[in-house]
């Protein structure tokens, strides 16, 4: 079985919903499974430690998940035009994998949700690509062969799937956004499978 890690952080649930649509796209490809994981929140009291098993939702990721999976979909809310600190904090623990080069040549894609349409989704996606490139991932976007990229009035970018949550953060993931999440997951799975079998 080929496994793709869907790793996200979500404080209010929007990025979590996107992760589920991306996982559906991944699992639409035969012989590919999605492994959904999240990261704990961080606090200024860095000595505070979350329980190893969260009260609800996805299991917390470990470095072994990165090693064991053949590809990666990485999702974070947009925070001041950048990825959220809990995701960056986890990535900053991956230097052993950077040193060993174990993640090199694995495909990866990124996704994000923001409250406003022009609130920095694209810069967030680009910021998420940077550490992945250092780790050796091959970055995939969404090509304009996905028709929704030309017509969406909500989220969706060639740099990765996005969602516009609105001022109150309650906008549902629109149909275009859902299709682009699915398309990104499916493409990531297909390319991961091809690379693995080549």
Ligand X SMILES: Cc1cc2nc3c(=O)[nH]c(=O)nc-3n(C[C@H](O)[C@H](O)[C@H](O)COP(=O)(O)O)c2cc1C
Q: Report the distance separating Cα 29 and Cα 53, nearest Å.
A: 29
Q: Report the distance separating Cα 67 and Cα 81, nearest Å.
A: 29
Among 19, 142, 165, 189, binds ligand X (CB under 6 A): 165
* Residue 74: C-alpha distances to residues 17, 39, 150 (Å): 13, 11, 23
Binding track over 113-142 against ligand X, x by CB under 6 A: xxxx--xx----------------------
In this structure, are residues 24 and 184 in contact, taking their beta carbons and an 8 Å threshold? no
- To the nearest 10 degrees (0 to 180), the angle between helices 14-27 and 175-197 is 50
- Please identify, using beta-carbon distances, which residue of 131 and 169 lies nearer to ligand X: 169
For the bound state, the minimum distance from the C-beta of residue 168 to ligand X, rounded and expressed in Å, comes to 9
The verdict on 74 binding ligand X (CB under 6 A) reads no
Among 12, 41, 54, 143, binds ligand X (CB under 6 A): 12
The verdict on 10 binding ligand X (CB under 6 A) reads yes
Q: Report the distance separating Cα 176 and Cα 163, nearest Å.
A: 9
For the bound state, the minimum distance from the C-beta of residue 102 to ligand X, rounded and expressed in Å, comes to 29
Task: Residue 18: name the closest of 121, 119, 147 by CA.
Answer: 121
- Please identify, using beta-carbon distances, which residue of 18 and 103 lies nearer to ligand X: 18
The verdict on 144 binding ligand X (CB under 6 A) reads no
Q: Could you list the residues that contact ligand X (CB under 6 A)?
A: 10-16, 77-81, 113-116, 119-120, 165, 169
């Amino acid at each position: 079985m080929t496994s793709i890690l869907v790793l996200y952080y979500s404080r209010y649930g929007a990025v979590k919903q996107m992760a589920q649509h991306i996982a559906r796209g991944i699992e639409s490809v035969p012989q590919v499974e999605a492994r959904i994981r999240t990261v704990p929140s961080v606090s200024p009291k860095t000595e505070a430690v979350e329980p190893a098993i969260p009260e609800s939702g996805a299991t917390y990721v470990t470095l072994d998940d990165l090693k064991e999976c053949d590809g990666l979909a990485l999702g974070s809310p947009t925070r001041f035009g950048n990825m959220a600190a809990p995701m960056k904090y986890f990535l900053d623990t991956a230097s052993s994998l950077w040193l060993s080069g174990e993640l090199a040549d694995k495909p990866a894609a990124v996704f994000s949700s923001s409250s406003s349409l022009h609130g920095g989704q694209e810069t967030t996606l680009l910021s998420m690509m940077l550490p992945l490139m250092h780790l050796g991932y091959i970055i995939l976007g969404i090509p304009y062969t996905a028709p929704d990229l030309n017509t969406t009035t909500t989220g969706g970018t060639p740099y990765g799937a996005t969602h516009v949550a609105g001022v109150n953060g309650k906008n549902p993931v629109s149909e275009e956004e859902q299709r682009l999440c699915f398309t990104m997951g499916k493409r990531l799975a297909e390319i991961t499978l091809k690379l693995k079998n080549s």
